[in-house]
């Protein structure tokens, strides 16, 4: 079922971020959920016969695409039913996410299969909020040494039989899988992922620099939450971080919440990779949007205090409570990137990594009308998903 709006409207007098730069006096016209025209005021004249929204000089930017998000509003993708999935997508849509990957955790084969099945079924409905466009499997084929908030009871080496079953039962649903490339059978598994059009990703890994490069030779091209749960950078042993920073085949995620990575680390990542090769993610868990208190992630007890979620046992960070708009604001205000660069990391880059940049991720005629209106302080004013204005 389609989520596209059928009406026609235009937003005028806006600063619009496009692939070719910022249109200072821009207008964007939409019909049937698709951008039909975009340009400066003189290039894209106002049509008085359709609904017109005056942006009063505010920003219009692409909707955010979150490729690593576990849940929110009290629900987790691992066990959420229809109501829970709607609640997660509604919460993140209210913070600017227009498309997302439902991200799993390390769990049993049966539980993972059930989660993929529920998400796949939900994707066939008319999703009223942020669009779930697939699944990101984080685990279970990770390294227990860097388990973080992954449940160690279910960590095991890569199982190609599982992948073959998932691909056969849920064609096109799995978009990314994160694993530890140094584990037994991982290189063959990475190659199998790539052959099936799934982005192979490293994370929760004890891999050396050389092992990551070998994995990239087999198809690895993504790193989850760079710096977190992976071998760190050392000048004689570059580790996973060193490989991610220096290999242009690998796009690195980052959680820009002020807790997971020091600002200098984020600056290092963006300078080393360039803002074309970094993807902004939330890694948000069920506690996102909820009050401080006790929660659960992958069967492990978590306590959230002042918005920071940590495992009760060991104190490791357990996902985040971040939203995409807060992450973009952090990049601009604390890291010093431009809004154009932050937008690229939050929208264009994930779209390119997922192979959907022909339909979304940037504002161009012919693409989906997934975009946001931000005021001069970068506060969200309006969200459109498929040309449909979201309201409370």
Active site residues: 283
What separation in angstroms does the CA of 358 have from each of 97, 295, 363, 364, 367?
Answer: 18, 39, 11, 10, 7
Q: Give the whole-angstrom CA distance, residue 3 versus residue 182.
A: 42
DSSP string, 135-196: EEEE-SSS-GGG-TTS-GGG-----HHHHHHHHHHSTTTEEEEEE-TTSTTHHHHHHHHHHT
Between helices 209-218 and 186-195, what is the axis angle to 10°?
Answer: 30
DSSP code of 209? H
Q: Is 196 exposed, middle or buried (0-12, 13-18, 19+ CB in 10 A)?
A: middle
Residues contacting residue 66 through CB under 8 Å, at least 6 positions apart: 92, 97, 99, 100, 101, 281, 282, 284, 324, 350
């Amino acid at each position: 079922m389609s989520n596209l709006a059928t009406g026609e409207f235009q937003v005028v007098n806006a600063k619009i971020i496009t692939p070719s730069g910022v249109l200072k006096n821009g207008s964007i016209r939409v019909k049937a959920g698709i951008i039909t025209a975009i340009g400066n005021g003189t290039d894209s004249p106002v049509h008085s016969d359709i609904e017109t929204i005056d942006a009063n000089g505010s920003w219009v930017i692409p909707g955010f695409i979150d490729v690593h998000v576990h849940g929110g509003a009290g629900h987790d993708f691992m066990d959420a039913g229809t109501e829970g999935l709607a609640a997660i997508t509604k919460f993140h849509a209210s913070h600017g996410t227009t498309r997302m990957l439902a991200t799993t955790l390390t769990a049993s084969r049966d539980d993972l299969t059930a989660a993929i099945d529920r998400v796949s079924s939900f994707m066939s409905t008319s999703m009223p909020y942020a669009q779930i466009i697939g699944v990101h499997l984080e685990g279970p084929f990770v390294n227990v040494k860097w388990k973080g908030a992954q449940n160690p009871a279910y960590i095991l080496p890569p199982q190609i039989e599982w992948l073959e079953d998932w691909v056969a039962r849920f064609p096109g649903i799995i978009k990314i899988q994160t694993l530890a490339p140094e584990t037994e059978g991982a290189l063959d598994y990475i190659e199998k992922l790539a052959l099936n059009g799934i982005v192979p990703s490293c994370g929760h890994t004890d891999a050396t620099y050389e092992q990551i490069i070998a994995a990239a030779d087999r198809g690895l091209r993504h790193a989850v939450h760079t710096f977190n749960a992976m071998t760190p950078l050392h000048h004689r042993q570059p580790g996973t971080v060193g490989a991610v920073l220096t290999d242009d085949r690998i796009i690195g995620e980052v959680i820009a919440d002020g807790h997971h990575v020091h600002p200098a680390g984020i600056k290092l990542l963006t300078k080393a990779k360039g803002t074309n090769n970094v993807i902004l993610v939330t890694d948000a868990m069920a506690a996102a949007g909820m009050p401080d208190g006790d929660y659960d992630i992958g069967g492990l007890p978590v306590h959230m205090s002042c918005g920071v979620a940590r495992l009760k046992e060991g104190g490791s960070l357990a996902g985040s409570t971040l939203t995409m708009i807060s992450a973009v604001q952090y990049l601009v205000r604390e890291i010093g990137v431009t809004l154009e660069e932050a937008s690229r990391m939050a929208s264009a880059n994930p779209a390119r990594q997922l192979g959907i940049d022909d339909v979304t991720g940037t504002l161009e005629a012919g693409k989906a009308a997934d975009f946001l209106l931000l005021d001069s302080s970068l506060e969200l004013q309006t969200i459109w998903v498929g040309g449909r204005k979201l309201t409370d």
